[in-house]
Structure 1
Amino acid sequence: MRREIRQPVEILGGVAADRRAEPVGVRLGAHDSSHTATLTDHFRLLGRSSRASFPRGSACDALHAGGALMLAGIRSGIPRRTGRLTMAERWREARVCGAAAGLGMAAYAIAAGLRGEWPPGATQTAVPFHAHLWDMVRGDSPGDLLFNWNSGYGAPFLADFFAYLMNPFSWPTVLLPRDQGQLAVFLVALSSIGLGTGLMTYALGRLHPGPRWLRALAALGYGLCAWVPTVGGTAPMWLWGLVSLPLLVVAGDWCLHERRWLSGTLCVALAWWGNLYTAAMATITAGLVLAVRLLAVRRPFKTLVRVAGRAVTMATAGMLLAAPVLFVAVRAAQEAQPESPVQPLGPSGLGGHLAQLLPGTHGGPPVPDVSIGLFGLLLVAGLPFNRRVRARERIVWCGLLVLVVLSFVWTPTVLVWHGLAIPAGGPYRVAFVLSGLLVLAGWVSLSHRPDTVTLLGGAAVVLVVAAVAAGRHSVRASTWVLLVAGGAVLLAALWTLEHRHTDRRAGAAATAVLGCAVLGGAVWSSYAALGTPATGTASGASVRAGYAAMRQAADWPRARTDPGPHAFTPNDPLLLDGQGGGYSSGYLPTVTALLLHDLGAGWTAGGRQTASVTDPVGQALFGVHTHLADGPPPDGFTVVRAPAPPLVTVLPPGSAVDTTSVWSRQESLLGGQVYDVPVPVPAAGPAPTAHGSSGWSVPATPEGTGGTAFTAVCTPGGTAYFHGVWFNGTVSGLGTTYRSDGVQPTTAVPVHLLGPVPADGVVRVVLHADTVTQVPARPIGCLRPGALDAALTRLTATGATRVTAGGHGLTAVLPAGSTGTALLSVPATTGWTCSAGGGPYAAPRSVLGMVGVPLGRGADRVVCSFRPPGLTEGETFALASAAVTALTAVFGRLRHRPTRTPRRVRRAAAEREWREEWRPPGGTWGL
Structure 2
Amino acid sequence: MPPAAETVLDEVDGKEGTGGTAQDPRARARGPRSPLVAGPLSAAVLTAVLLCLATRLSRSYPFGPVTRNVVDLGQQYLPFHSYWRAFLRGETQGDAFLNWNSGFGSNFLGDIGTYLSSPFDLLVVFFPADRVELALYVVTAAKITAAGAAMALLLLRMRPGPWPVAALLGTAYALSGWTFNLGASVPMWLDGLVAFPLLCLVGEWARTGRRPVLGPLVVALAWIANFYTAYMATVGAAVVLLVRLLTTEETATARQRLTAALRAARGVLIGIGLAAPLVVVVFLGTKGADPTPVVPFAPAAWQEVVARFLPATASLASPALFIGTPALALTLTLPFNRAVAPRVRAGWTAAVVLVTLSLQWEPTHLLWHAGASPNGGPYRQTFVLCGLLIVGGWFSAARGVPRPAALLGGGALLGALALAARGSVDIDPWTYPAFGIAAALVLAAVLVALLGERRNTARVLPVLAVALLLAAQAGEAAVTGKRIEERQRAEVAWSPRIGPWHTAVAEEAARADAWPRHRTDPGEVPGGNDVLVVGGQGPDYYSSLTSEITSRTLASLGFGFYAKGRHPVTLDNPVTDALFSIGTRIRSTPTGPVRQDALPRATVSAATRPVPPLVTVRPAGRPATHPGDSAFARQERLLGADVYELPPVTRTGRTLTARCPAGSQVWFWGPEYRGGATLAGERPVHFEGKPPAVQAPMRTLGTVPGSGAVRIELTPEAERGLPRQPVGCLLQDRLDSAVRQLTATGATEVSTTGHTVTARLPQGSTGTAVLAAPRISGWRCAAGDAEPRPARAYQGLVAVPLDGRAASVTCSFRPPGLTLGGAVGAAALLALLATWALHRRGAAWPRRRAAR
- Does the Cα contact within 8 Å between 2:82 and 2:533 map onto a contact in 1? yes
- Among 73, 80, 86, the alignment partner of 2:28 is 86
* Alignment-derived partner of residue 529 in structure 2: 571
- Does the Cα contact within 8 Å between 2:331 and 2:392 map onto a contact in 1? yes
Distance 1:761 1:471 in 2: 62
Residues 1:660 and 2:602 are matched in the alignment: no
Matches within 5 A, 1:55-454: 86=28, 88-89=30-31, 92=34, 93-118=36-61, 119-121=68-70, 122-297=73-248, 298=250, 299-345=252-298, 349-363=301-315, 366-449=317-400, 450-454=402-406
Structure 1, unaligned runs of 5 or more:
1-8, 24-32, 38-78, 686-706, 906-927
Residues 81 and 399 of structure 1, relative CA distance in 2, 3 Å threshold? closer
CA RMSD of aligned residues (A): 2.4
- Does the Cα contact within 8 Å between 1:800 and 1:812 map onto a contact in 2? yes
- The SS at the match of 1:422 is coil
* Alignment-derived partner of residue 479 in structure 2: 524
* Alignment-derived partner of residue 808 in structure 2: 861
Deviations 1:493-532, CA, capped at 9 Å, x for gaps: 1333244232322222222332333223322222222224
Distance 2:426 2:362 in 1: 24
TM-aligned CA deviation for residue 259 of structure 1 = 1.7
TM-aligned CA deviation for residue 383 of structure 1 = 1.2
Q: Which has the larger radius of gyration?
A: 1
- Among 687, 691, 700, the alignment partner of 1:744 is 691
TM-aligned CA deviation for residue 728 of structure 1 = 2.8
- Among 663, 668, 673, the alignment partner of 1:717 is 663
Residues 519 and 81 of structure 1, relative CA distance in 2, 3 Å threshold? closer
Distance 2:253 2:6 in 1: 37
- Among 405, 414, 418, the alignment partner of 1:462 is 414
Distance 2:5 2:411 in 1: 22
Distance 1:764 1:80 in 2: 86
TM-aligned CA deviation for residue 88 of structure 1 = 3.0
- The SS at the match of 2:439 is helix
TM-aligned CA deviation for residue 482 of structure 1 = 2.4
Question: For structure 1, which segment, 85-94 or 236-245, has the greater mean C-alpha deviation from structure 2 after superposition?
Answer: 85-94
Deviations 1:17-36, CA, capped at 9 Å, x for gaps: 3544557xxxxxxxxx7459
- TM-score, with structure 1 as normaliser: 0.85
TM-aligned CA deviation for residue 215 of structure 1 = 0.5
Amino acid at match of 2:666: A
Amino acid at match of 2:468: V
Deviations 1:670-697, CA, capped at 9 Å, x for gaps: 1211111122223x22xxxxxxxxxxxx
Deviations 1:134-168, CA, capped at 9 Å, x for gaps: 21122221111110100001111111101111111
- The SS at the match of 1:858 is coil
Residues 1:879 and 2:821 are matched in the alignment: no
* Alignment-derived partner of residue 504 in structure 1: 459
TM-aligned CA deviation for residue 80 of structure 1 = 11
Residues 856 and 515 of structure 1, relative CA distance in 2, 3 Å threshold? same
Deviations 1:313-368, CA, capped at 9 Å, x for gaps: 1111111010112211111011100122334436x5222111110122235x6211
Residues 1:489 and 2:441 are matched in the alignment: yes
- The SS at the match of 1:438 is helix
* Alignment-derived partner of residue 649 in structure 1: 616
Residues 253 and 490 of structure 1, relative CA distance in 2, 3 Å threshold? same
Residues 1:835 and 2:786 are matched in the alignment: no
Distance 1:319 1:891 in 2: 20
TM-aligned CA deviation for residue 732 of structure 1 = 2.6
Distance 1:90 1:133 in 2: 36
- The SS at the match of 2:602 is coil
Residues 847 and 10 of structure 1, relative CA distance in 2, 3 Å threshold? same
Distance 2:610 2:22 in 1: 84
- Does the Cα contact within 8 Å between 1:836 and 1:853 map onto a contact in 2? yes
TM-aligned CA deviation for residue 660 of structure 1 = 2.3
Deviations 1:417-471, CA, capped at 9 Å, x for gaps: 2233333331122221111111111111111331112122212111111111123
- The SS at the match of 1:270 is helix
* Alignment-derived partner of residue 914 in structure 1: none
- The SS at the match of 1:180 is helix
Deviations 1:613-668, CA, capped at 9 Å, x for gaps: 22110111111122233414141554333322211111112234855221111111
Distance 1:91 1:626 in 2: 62
Amino acid at match of 2:664: G
* Alignment-derived partner of residue 808 in structure 1: 755
- Does the Cα contact within 8 Å between 1:340 and 1:605 map onto a contact in 2? no
TM-aligned CA deviation for residue 891 of structure 1 = 2.0
Residues 156 and 539 of structure 1, relative CA distance in 2, 3 Å threshold? closer
Identity fraction in percent: 35
* Alignment-derived partner of residue 605 in structure 1: 563
Residues 540 and 729 of structure 1, relative CA distance in 2, 3 Å threshold? closer
* Number of residue pairs the alignment of both structures matches: 820
Residues 12 and 727 of structure 1, relative CA distance in 2, 3 Å threshold? farther
- Does the Cα contact within 8 Å between 1:681 and 1:711 map onto a contact in 2? yes
* Alignment-derived partner of residue 704 in structure 1: none
Residues 145 and 446 of structure 1, relative CA distance in 2, 3 Å threshold? same
Question: For structure 1, which segment, 816-825 or 490-499, has the greater mean C-alpha deviation from structure 2 after superposition?
Answer: 490-499
Residues 457 and 438 of structure 1, relative CA distance in 2, 3 Å threshold? same
Residues 628 and 18 of structure 1, relative CA distance in 2, 3 Å threshold? farther
Residues 405 and 12 of structure 1, relative CA distance in 2, 3 Å threshold? farther
* Alignment-derived partner of residue 519 in structure 2: 560
* Alignment-derived partner of residue 6 in structure 1: none
Structure 2, unaligned runs of 5 or more:
62-67, 592-600
- Does the Cα contact within 8 Å between 2:495 and 2:526 map onto a contact in 1? no
Residues 123 and 741 of structure 1, relative CA distance in 2, 3 Å threshold? closer
Amino acid at match of 2:748: T
